[in-house]
Amino acid sequence: MITQTHYLALSAALFFLGVIGVLTRRNIIIILMSMELMLNAVNINLIAFSHQWQNIVGQVFAVFVICVAAAEAAVGLGIILAFYRNKETVNIDEMSLMRW
């Protein structure tokens, strides 16, 4: 029998895999991908609760989360491209200046 707890545990595990990615990788593209994993974990959580309480609102919020994820990806990748054009690197440790 699969209960709500199973889905919550899966979501927590996925979220912390994303956190590990953000903390340990230095390539900013992979860091953004890890953030997408974390947003996906949140969506699993929302939809699992929507399933348990048989309430559609959780799925509506998951739509909003996907919308924000798309906006974040577009702007984040634009920033990465602009940065790469100036500094020829995507290492986040070298991104310490506001201007140069």
Partner 1 sequence: MAEVITFYVLAALILGFAALVVTARSAVHSVLFLVADFLCVAVLYVVLQAQFLAVIQVLVYAGGIVVLYLFVVMLVNLKRPAEAYSDPNRLGRLGLAMSLAVVAELGAIAAYGWVKPDGPASTLDAANVEQIGMALYTDYLIPFEVASILLLVAMIGAIVLAKREM
Q: Map the footprint of partner 1 across residues 28-47, applying CB under 8 A.
A: 28-30, 32-34, 36-37, 40, 43-44, 47
CB of 38 to partner 1, least distance (A): 10
Given a contact cutoff of 8 angstroms between Cβ atoms, the answer to whether 21 and 30 are in contact is: yes
Alpha carbon distance 85, 56 (integer Å): 44
Please tell me whether residue 23 adopts helix, strand or coil conformation: helix
And the tokens for 38? 């974390």
CB of 97 to partner 1, least distance (A): 15
Please give the residues from 60 up to 99 whose contact with partner 1 meets the rule CB under 8 A. 60, 62-64, 66-75, 77-82, 84, 88-91, 93-94
